[in-house]
Amino acid sequence: MRVAAIQFDPTFGDVRGNLARCLELVSSVEADLCVLPELALSGYLFESRAEAMSLSQEPGDKELDALAGFAGRTGTTIVVGFAERAGESLFNSAVLLAPSGSRAVYRKIHLFSGEKEIFEPGDRPPAVVEVAGVRLGMMVCFDWIFPETARTLALGGADIICHPANLVLAYCQDAMVTRCIENRIFAVTANRVGREDRAGQSLRFTGMSEIVAPNGRILARADAEGEAVLVEEIDVAAARDKAVTPANDVLGDRRPHLYRLDE
């Protein structure tokens, strides 16, 4: 299958413009799966929770229809980050828009820095969604530093981690190589670029979106600056072979009864 990581620079607060740009970028590539960045519709640095609420969507909102329609017409599954409104609650979420029309949501479990003042942490385990025989897992940005997230997805049978991101620290792109090796799984990290100067802060996003294979090979990596569309042909079967040597299986050799030191 063909997978794409889409790196772009959303304009803060311009949901319609950002949606239009997302549609333009996914239309520029032929792929079975396109992953877009975290909070791609709203931008990242909110002044307040009220401001984030005003730029949020519900997963079924009509605002997402153009992207969902593209998924249905072309057979491309799209994963995109957005601020999810759920009644009075607000989550930093990713929605998976499947060609069938179904919409699956993952709510970021591990909030980063000031996100804790804006969002509630995700309230459900990371889900794995099967689309056309391929098992897609989602995590969002800072979830990377908690190996439990990727491991939970691997134990849930995910072949590919779809990873929308707004990375600002220097470590994730290299760390994802380890996440892939230790779980024998593919990862598509779609990071944003550009900077935001708002809410008394200045953040530069680190780009370098990437597609990584179960053996840790970086199949494609974008530059630190500038929008980019990465596409790779991958063989999903590689993620179903968990053997790291003939005698070692990265999931089967686990000894969970010895890991529970914090309980």
Residue 168 CB, nearest approach to ligand ACM (Å): 5
Residue 257 CB, nearest approach to ligand ACM (Å): 32
Task: Specify the residue, 57 or 206, whose C-beta has the smaller distance to ligand ACM.
Answer: 206
Residue 167 CB, nearest approach to ligand ACM (Å): 6
- Using CA atoms, how far residue 258 sits from 41, 146, 181, 248, 254, in Å, is 43, 19, 22, 18, 9
Task: Specify the residue, 174 or 233, whose C-beta has the smaller distance to ligand ACM.
Answer: 174
Residues annotated as catalytic are 38, 108, 141
Query: Which residues contact ligand ACM by CB under 6 A?
Result: 38, 112, 141-142, 166-168
Task: Specify the residue, 33 or 167, whose C-beta has the smaller distance to ligand ACM.
Answer: 167
Residue 123 CB, nearest approach to ligand ACM (Å): 18
Task: Specify the residue, 43 or 214, whose C-beta has the smaller distance to ligand ACM.
Answer: 43
Residue 80 CB, nearest approach to ligand ACM (Å): 15
Task: Specify the residue, 36 or 98, whose C-beta has the smaller distance to ligand ACM.
Answer: 36
DSSP string of the chain, one letter each residue: -EEEEEEB-PPTT-HHHHHHHHHHHHHTS--SEEE--TTTTT-S--S-HHHHHHT-B-TT-GGGHHHHHHHHHH--EEEEEEEEEETTEEEEEEEEE-TTS-EEEEE-SS--GGGGGT-PPP-SPPPEEEETTEEEEE--GGGGG-HHHHHHHHHTT-SEEEEE----SSSHHHHHHHHHHHHT-EEEEE-B-SEEEETTEEEE-----EEE-TTS-EEEE--SSS-EEEEEE--GGGGG--EEETTEETTTT--GGGT-TT-
